């Protein structure tokens, strides 16, 4: 979906991976790309005086696509971490998140991450949760999917025992498509913050940070947040 905003200035290409409710996804009714990240990015562009054009790409290729200058900006619920900071510059954090275990409603056997040994756990390829599973849960059988909705479908049809993924995505999926059948259990496993990414040394980083701060100060950030998270 290459819909552009028109603020009169430069047009920048923004890479995202639209399989991540409620941050970026295609609305079934309107067929439009929407979500918290999409609206925040558009508001930042308007504030900073540039235009954005979204391009759909595979999450695993997003950091490298931005680091080589193929895309000007990446926004996709991207967790800020040191490994990624070696390749790209991050904006200031714009959303506090973390990982959770999710199981089918009524599952009494798996109530926390400690119960995952020997279980089959679904996650997304190239995500921080896949890394977490590899490092912290060597005894779990990991199934990495290119789209997290496929992992949720596998959970709903009992092909896997649990999913490990970003808490806000689990919660929103559960409330919507998941029909309350998928539940987040146990404590939040990690604290992770999301940031936008830029090619190293890009002047856009500061422009975006300045605009983000303005939107936080003038209430626009809170409005967009309330729309998607209801707080």
What residues between 151 and 180 interact with ligand ARG by CB under 6 A?
166
Q: Is 65 in the site for ligand ARG (CB under 6 A)?
A: no
Q: How far apart are CA 203 and CA 56, in angstroms?
A: 23
Q: Which of 87/214 has CB closer to ligand ARG?
A: 87
Residues 6+ apart with CB under 8 A from 82: none
> Among 5, 207, 189, which residue's Cα sits nearest to residue 97?
189
Pick the piece of the chain touching ligand ARG (CB under 6 A) from 4-12, 72-80, 154-162, 222-230. 72-80
Least distance to ligand ARG, CB of residue 166, Å: 5
Task: Output the smallest distance, CB 37 to ligand ARG, in A.
Answer: 8
Whether residue 123 contacts residue 155, with contact meaning beta carbons closer than 8 Å, is answered with no
- The CA–CA distances, whole Å, from 147 to 13, 87, 165, 167, 195 equal 23, 24, 12, 16, 21
Of the candidate spans 77-85, 114-122, 133-141, 221-229, the one that interacts with ligand ARG by CB under 6 A turns out to be 77-85
Q: Residues 162, 119: contact at Cβ < 8 Å? A: yes
Determine if 67 is a binding residue for ligand ARG (CB under 6 A): no
Tokens 């235009």 belong to residue? 51
| Helix pair 36-48, 220-229: axis angle to 10 deg | 170
Which listed residue (77, 122, 168, 195) binds ligand ARG by CB under 6 A?
A: 77
Q: Is 79 in the site for ligand ARG (CB under 6 A)?
A: yes
Q: Is residue 76 at the binding interface for ligand ARG, with CB under 6 A as the rule?
A: yes
CB-CB neighbours of 132 under 10 Å = 18
Burial of 116 (0-12, 13-18, 19+ CB in 10 A): buried
Candidate list 48, 78, 155, 204; residue touching ligand ARG; CB under 6 A: 78
Of residues 49 and 182, the one with the C-beta less far from ligand ARG: 182
- Identity of the residue, 50 or 59, whose beta carbon is nearer to ligand ARG in the bound complex: 59
Rg (CA), the chain: 18
Site string for ligand ARG, 20-49 (x = CB under 6 A): x---x-------------------------
Question: Cβ distance 47 to 211 under 8 Å?
Answer: yes
Among 67, 100, 123, 128, binds ligand ARG (CB under 6 A): 128
Number of residues that bind ligand ARG (CB under 6 A): 12
Interface residue list for ligand ARG (CB under 6 A): 17, 19-20, 24, 59, 76-79, 127-128, 166
């Amino acid at each position: 979906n290459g819909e552009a905003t028109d603020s009169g200035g430069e047009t920048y290409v923004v890479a995202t991976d639209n399989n991540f409710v409620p941050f970026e996804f295609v609305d079934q009714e309107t067929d439009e790309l929407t979500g918290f990240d999409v609206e925040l990015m558009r508001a930042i562009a308007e504030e900073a005086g540039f235009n954005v054009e979204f391009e759909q790409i595979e999450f695993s290729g997003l950091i490298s696509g931005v680091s080589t200058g193929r895309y000007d900006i990446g926004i996709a619920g991207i967790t800020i971490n040191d490994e990624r900071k070696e390749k790209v510059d991050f904006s200031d954090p714009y959303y506090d998140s973390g990982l959770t275990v999710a199981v089918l409603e009524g599952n009494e056997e798996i109530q926390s991450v400690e119960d995952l040994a020997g279980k089959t756990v679904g996650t997304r390829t190239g995500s921080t949760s896949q890394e977490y599973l590899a490092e912290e849960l060597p005894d779990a059988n990991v199934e990495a999917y290119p789209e997290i909705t496929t992992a949720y479908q596998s959970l709903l049809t009992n092909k896997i025992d649990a999913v490990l993924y970003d808490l806000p995505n689990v919660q929103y999926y559960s409330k919507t498509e998941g029909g309350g059948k998928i539940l987040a259990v146990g404590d939040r496993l990690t604290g992770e913050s999301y940031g936008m990414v830029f090619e190293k040394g890009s002047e856009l980083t500061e422009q975006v940070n300045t605009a983000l701060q303005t939107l936080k100060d003038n209430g626009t950030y809170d409005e967009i947040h309330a729309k998607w998270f209801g707080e």
